[in-house]
Structure formats: C-alpha cells, structure tokens
Amino acid sequence: MLLALNSSNPFRRLLLHGKNYVSEIERTITLLTSTYSSVGAGNSLIKGNPLRNILIHNFSDSDYYIAKALVAVGTYKDDNEGWTLLQSAILGCRGSPLSSVCRMALDMIDISQDFRLRSTDYKKGWMALHWVAAGGTVPVAKMLLQIDLDSINVRTQEEEERTPLHLAAEAGKSIAMVKLLLDRGADASLTTSGLKLTPLGTFISNGRTRGWTPLHLASYFIDYTTIRVLVEEMNADVRAQTPNNATAFDIVMERARRFPDSLRGADSFARWSRQAYRSALSCN
C-alpha cells in the first residue's frame, strides 16, 4: 500500500517516518550534502541550486522543511541564476497574503541578502520589493520595508521605470499592498516612463503611457478600491493629466463606455480593452 503512494506525497512521508519525518529530512540532506557537495550541479537531475527549486514550488509543509534543511547546510549562498533566491521565494508565495504561505520568503529575508539585487532574466531589473508589490504579498513587503524603507520609490530598470506603487496599482489585487506602500511614504505623484503591458497581457509597443501616475493606472484598470484610497486618503490630484491631456476621469469614461453588455468571452474583452485604451490615450 505504501509503495502505491506517490513518493512526493507528505502523507506517505508521515506514514514512513511518523512524527520524526522532519528530522529524517534534515539528517538525510545533511548527510548527502556533506558527502556529495555538488548536489544541484550539472551532473545532478536537479539543475542549479536545489534550494531555488524548492522555494519556487513551495507546495507543502514538506517543501518548507526541505528548504530549512538546505539553508542549514549552506545552500543559501546565492548564485543569482536570473533572479535571487529571495525573489524565487517570493514567486513561490503566488501572491498569497498569508504569512503561513510565505514562510520561505520571510526566512530568506532573515538570511543576509542584498535586497536590492535585480533580476537579470524574467522581469529584468526588478528588486524584491517590486516582486512583492506586483504580487500583493503584504507580509513580505512589510518585512522588506522594515529593513530598507529607502527602497520605497526605487524604480525598475526597464523602459517603464515603474515604482512599487505603480506595480501594486496596476495589479489591482491587493488594496492592502497599496495602503501599505502609501503609509510607508510611496510617492503617488511619480509617473511612469512608458507602460508596455495591459491587464490582459496585450503588449503596447509605442510607449504612449509615458507620464502616467498611479491614479491613471488604477483608472485604466477601473480599480475602484485603489482609486478611492488614492483620492480620498492620499489626496491624489484627480486633475493631473497624461501627456495626451487625459485625466483619470477621462480614462475611466472611455474604458467603461466601450464595453457593451452584449460582449462576452475573453477575445471580445481583449478587443474592447485595446479599443478603450487607444481612445483613452487620444482623448482631449
């Protein structure tokens, strides 16, 4: 019966080891890494740093215990394969606001890390705070800001040059993240240098959103809660205009009026999104 269970199933591990399965993980990893220090090297089935793989997947309590064991034997020394180990752990949070899901990321912050290291592969030029802002991972953001509050308005190193607040306003996932950033001193008046990605993943290559504020971005997403916080609590300037003379109200009006009730389905919604976006850019 035990052999029929998937070997990666935490329930099977519990059956095999009882309450001691956590210590079994720790002892086994310690033994293997001390005997074969190149675990995770090119001749291993696990390519790259094994800790990075666990941090990104983060599926179960067993993964958490494996990560702790790997950290204990020194695999936390970052090889920075495109993004840092901390950024990998933030990806593993999958946008969850729960500290229990983000334990790995919180533990990685406790380890001596350069929080301002930037990704060089996916999302090039993003720091850890950019990742958590975009994902709405509030517990991790709180700890990062406790350590490095000066990073609150640091921009991404990409054409858009977005701040963490821009990313949080675009995502529209977590009003708690927007509030946290504003409470910690994020500047709601800073503008982008050219947004290139719509909420539907439609790439816009002409860069005509240069000069948009977080309020403009939230208006484009018609994210009421974020807009309310920006306007009522942070006194965002509702009269501020994009370089094409569009206010937040103009953008919302054009976005809303171009979505007929008869339209249904992702393709129709995507066409509406592109049309409304072009109109918002050109309104005077």
Torsion angle of the four alpha carbons 51, 56, 61, 63, in this order, in degrees rounded to the nearest 10: -30
Check if the beta carbon of residue 177 is closer than 8 Å to that of residue 168: yes
Q: For the chain, give the longest Cα–Cα distance.
A: 71
Provide block-wise average pLDDT over 10 residues at a time, the chain (284 residues).
Answer: 46 58 74 59 53 80 81 69 81 78 85 77 87 91 94 89 87 78 88 51 37 82 83 86 84 71 46 49 47
**Which tokens sit at 1?**
């019966």
**Residue bearing tokens 């800790």:** 51
pLDDT computed for residue 74 by the predictor: 74
Topology annotation, domain 189-284: 1.25.40
Cα separation, 39 vs 172, in Å, equals: 40
pLDDT computed for residue 132 by the predictor: 93
> Which phi and psi angles does 274 have, rounded to 5°?
-65, -40
pLDDT computed for residue 128 by the predictor: 93
pLDDT computed for residue 52 by the predictor: 81
pLDDT computed for residue 204 by the predictor: 28
**Which tokens sit at 202?**
């439609």
Domain boundaries, the chain: 189-284
> What number of other Cβ atoms are within 10 A of residue 18's Cβ?
9
Q: For the stretch 120-153, what's the b/e string if a residue is b when 16 or more beta carbons lie within 10 angstroms of its beta carbon?
A: eeebebbbbbbbbbbbbbbbbbbbbbeebeebbe
Whether the model clears a pTM of 0.75, i.e. scores above it, the answer is no
